Amino acid sequence: MSAQLERLLAIVRRVIGVPDYALYLRHMRERHPGCATLSPREFERERLTARYSRPGSRCC
Amino acid sequence: MKFLKPLAWAAISLAGAGAFAYLALSRGETVSAAWLLTAAVCTYLVAYRFYSAFIASKVFALDAARATPAERLSDGRDFVPTNKWIVFGHHFAAIAGPGPLVGPTLAAQFGFLPGFLWIVVGVALGGAVQDFVILCSSVRRDGKSIGQMAKEEIGPIAGFTGMVAVLGIMIVLIAVLALVVVNALKASPWGTVTIGLTIPIALVMGVYMRWVRPGRVLETTAIGLVLLVLALYAGRWVAEQPAIAPAFTLSGTTLAIAIMVYAFAASVLPVWLLLAPRDYLSAFVKIGVVVALAVGIVVMLPPLQMPPLTRFVDGTGPVFAGKIFPFVFITIACGAISGFHALIASGTTPKLLAVESDARFIGYGAMLTESLVAVMALIAACILSPGVYFAINAPAGIIGTTVESAAHVIGSWGFVVSPAELSALAQQVHEASLLSRTGGAPSLAVGMAHIFANVLGGGGAMALWYHFAIMFEALFILTTLDAGTRVGRFMLQDLGKHVWAPLGRVSWYPAVLLTSAIFVAMWGWFLYQGVLDPLGGINSLWPLFGIANQLLAAVALCVGTTVIIKMGKARYAFTTMLPLAWLVVVTMSAGWLKIFSPDPKLGFLSHARMLADKVAAGALPLGAKSATDVARMVFNDRIDAAVAGFFMVSVLIILADSLWVWYGILSGARAATSTEVPFTASTAGAGVPR
């Protein structure tokens, strides 16, 4: 898959609200090097729980 | 080339003014949708270029060099500096729901002009300002929610009132949206099967994403979209089988119970199984259909059959009771100004802004886009002949249950429609009947089907497009409803823990089941009463929802005004006080009329009195089979009156609290203590959108 297509798909994913694991990893590497990171599965679950437990993610 | 720019803006302003003038002066001939689009888009451009720039620079002094919460608090989870186009798309997908589609459709009973003017003027001076100001306020406060800001900027009373009001609004909102779905699926095996299938489709997607191909969201969503198309055809197939179609031809009450069971399940099941896959699917369908509708309208430029003003501006309209003032401003909330957006503008979005000055494009710009969606919905409703529009949207209590009676009553209003025409249209979209399918969704679907079938393939495609449109509307209504129920459950748990601590434990099943059941019962009660109501329920519930939503907007504008005054910018506080004053006038007069109007069609209390008088005189009112029925209807009216009263009192409390604070600050008696986070310079590279 070409790099451009992969970038486009990443944009689409973020627009529809899919949490971005690569960004999370990059953040942990830059800001908290040496800290343990969540696995992709753990990250996804943690994000979904957070998203659906507060008002403000949806409108009428 | 410098002189060209002002010239271009002068041309845009003139084009917009010209289109408005044409709309205002044209009488007696059909008007092309092109005029509405031109007037709307030119207004949006001018408002964005000048008014939003004024707010950005003069009021908030947005500064690209100031570090945003996403940069300062970056955590790779909630706080992520994000490209402005991605934030725009995400924010738009979150604010655009069924509201801007349904409201304008209902308000079309006044003709296209009142709704159109309110949508366009309301958004430029009210709705987009609210979204933008709340977004800026939240960005300057580490992405705090509107509830927290109300508490910290105004005071604990306003904060608590706001929180309880939000719960009340969610209850009415979910009930009325569920009623729209019930009315769209009633006695329609095709629609019922198609929508019903979206649930197993979501479950399959959820399981697939969890175990088969973890993390493959787009692949899974693509499969889901293909399955949706199959569900559309499966619905048609079932509807054509005389042996099984009756099993899916459901009554309003059965559908209402089914929706309650579904929402309860969505609230207690794990989110990955049902909610998340539905959301992804719905975000795609939402953006796709909005774009398709825009393209369809621009290609077709349909003439509007609805006159600019109808006789129903006098308050005798069949779709909902009440005069043009204040009811057009209540009926159309989303699209002009929607308080619910304040929850989003102070929710996910402020945590994503990479550059502070992006707030203008996202806060003001996305709301203008939603307003355009509302204009398109209005166009889709107004390209139907008025006779057809009223046949679909007037309740059976007024036009009767046969095409003959409907054509007769509608003819007496001066709109010509023949019984044969009504039967033919129903047949064309494969429905047993389109009469009294109140709630706006079916008439919008007929309008959209006209546009799509016109652009993409003849009359034979009408039925498919109609059911596609119904599926699209129901899909995203249900997405609001299930996620809303879950959020309502969390809010109840949060309140309940003060009564009994274990109720607050979000993963303790007894508490989860109990609070979910209570919340579903709260909105379910309104839904069920609405289904039984001989006047269709939308009649009384939609105005309540409108009042509630505008109330929330008033709360948001109180917060915004307080923030602006505390910044020492009281001279610019008119930006939020102007729409606030208007909303207070509108919600107060609408609420007052809904409760106390002597006209039983309009006032809840006089309606209750009329029912009681009828029983006392030994007669049964329309739709009641026994005295118990009447007692229930009377009780129902009184509850509706109490709810409207509760919303009005909430507005007054928050307004009084705010005025007290403003007076204190402006008179110098109170220090303008703001919770705004002090300026921190953005570090080169740290806030780069990713």
B619 has a pLDDT exceeding 90? no
How many C-beta atoms lie closer than 10 Å to residue A26's C-beta? 13
Residues in Cβ contact with B271 at an 8 Å cutoff, skipping those fewer than 6 apart: A48, A49, A51, A52, B486
A7-57 pLDDT, tens digit per residue, is: 899 888 988 888 888 889 988 988 888 888 899 888 988 888 888 766 555
Question: Is B686 a residue whose pLDDT tops 60?
Answer: no
Q: Write down the pLDDT at residue B459.
A: 57
- Is the CB of A59 less than 8 angstroms away from the CB of B343? yes
Model confidence at B141, pLDDT cuts 50, 70, 90, reads: very high
- Give the chain B residue nearest A11 (alpha carbons): B86
> Does some domain include residue B682?
no
Q: Is residue B676, in this structure, part of any structural domain at all?
A: no
Q: How confident is the model at residue A1 (pLDDT cuts 50, 70, 90)?
A: low
**Residue numbers of the domain that contains B67:** 11-187+250-667
- Taking residues B526-555, what's their average pLDDT? 90
Q: Which residue did the predictor score with more confidence, B656 or B2?
A: B656
In a domain, B101, yes or no: yes
Calculated CA dihedral for residues B5, B8, B12, B15, nearest 10 degrees: 160
For residue B491, what pLDDT band results from cuts at 50, 70 and 90? confident
CB B375, CB B88: distance < 8 Å: no
Give domain status of residue B650, yes or no.
yes
Q: Residues B101, B180: contact at Cβ < 8 Å?
A: no
Q: Report the pLDDT value the prediction gives residue B73, as an integer from 0 to 100.
A: 92
d(CA B557, CA B586): 14
Residues of chain B contacting residue A41, judged by C-beta atoms under 8 Å apart: 214-215
CA angle B462, B468, B471 (to 5 degrees): 145
Residues B256-278 have a mean pLDDT of: 93
Q: Which residues of B touch A27 (CB under 8 A)?
A: 74-76, 80
Q: Which is more confident, B608 or B165?
A: B608
Q: Comparing B263-277, B451-465, B606-620, which segment has the lowest mean pLDDT?
A: B451-465
Closest Cα partner for B93 from B341, B273, B353, B465? Answer: B341
* C-beta of residue B377 within 8 angstroms of C-beta of residue B588: no
Chain B, residues 450-479, CB within 8 A of chain A, namely 479
What does the pLDDT read at residue B373?
95
| Residue that the structure tokens 């095709």 belong to | B190
In whole angstroms, give the CA distance from residue B69 to residue B57.
Answer: 20
Q: Does B78 touch chain A (CB under 8 A)?
A: yes
pLDDT score, position B688: 58
Q: What is the pTM of this model?
A: 0.94
What integer pLDDT is reported at residue B458 of this predicted model?
63
Residue B675 lies in a domain: no
The predicted model gives B90-108 an average pLDDT of: 92
Name residue, tokens 């309110």.
B118
Residue B349: predicted pLDDT: 93
Query: Is B622 a residue whose pLDDT tops 80?
Result: no
Per-residue pLDDT tens for B452-482?
Answer: 988 887 657 899 999 999 999 998 899 889 8
Is there a cis peptide before residue B326, judged by omega within 30 degrees of 0? yes
Give the pLDDT mean for B445-457: 89
Q: What is the pLDDT of residues B572-588, one digit of tens each?
A: 999 999 999 999 999 99
Nearest CA-CA partner of B224 in B184, B268, B284, B293: B284
In this prediction the ipTM stands at 0.89
Based on the structure, what is the number of domains in chain B? 1
Residues in chain A with CB shorter than 8 Å from the CB of B339 are none
The pLDDT score that the predictor gives to residue B683 is 84
The reported pLDDT for the residue numbered B518 is 96
Average pLDDT score over residue span B638-667: 95
Supply B505's token pair: 């434990």
In a domain, B208, yes or no: no
Of B77, B490, B690, the CB nearest to A53: B490
Position B230 scores a pLDDT of 97
- B218 occurs within a structural domain: no
Inter-chain residue contact B215 with A23, CB threshold 8 Å: no
Residues 483-522 (B) with a CB less than 8 A from some CB of A: 483-484, 486-487, 490-491, 506
Residue B254's pLDDT is what?
97
pLDDT (0 to 100) of residue A54: 63
In a domain, B375, yes or no: yes
Reference B476, options B340, B203, B289, B344; nearest CA is: B289
Residue with tokens 């119970």: B257
* Distance to chain A for B415, nearest Cα, Å: 33
User: B689 pLDDT exceeds 70?
Assistant: no
Mean per-residue pLDDT of chain B: 92
**Cross-chain residue pair B221–A16, CB shorter than 8 Å:** yes
Cβ within 8 Å, pair A31-B217: no
Beta-carbon count within 10 A of B24 CB: 12
Cα distance between residue B38 and residue B15, in whole Å: 7
* Shortest distance, CA B486 to any CA of chain A (angstroms): 7
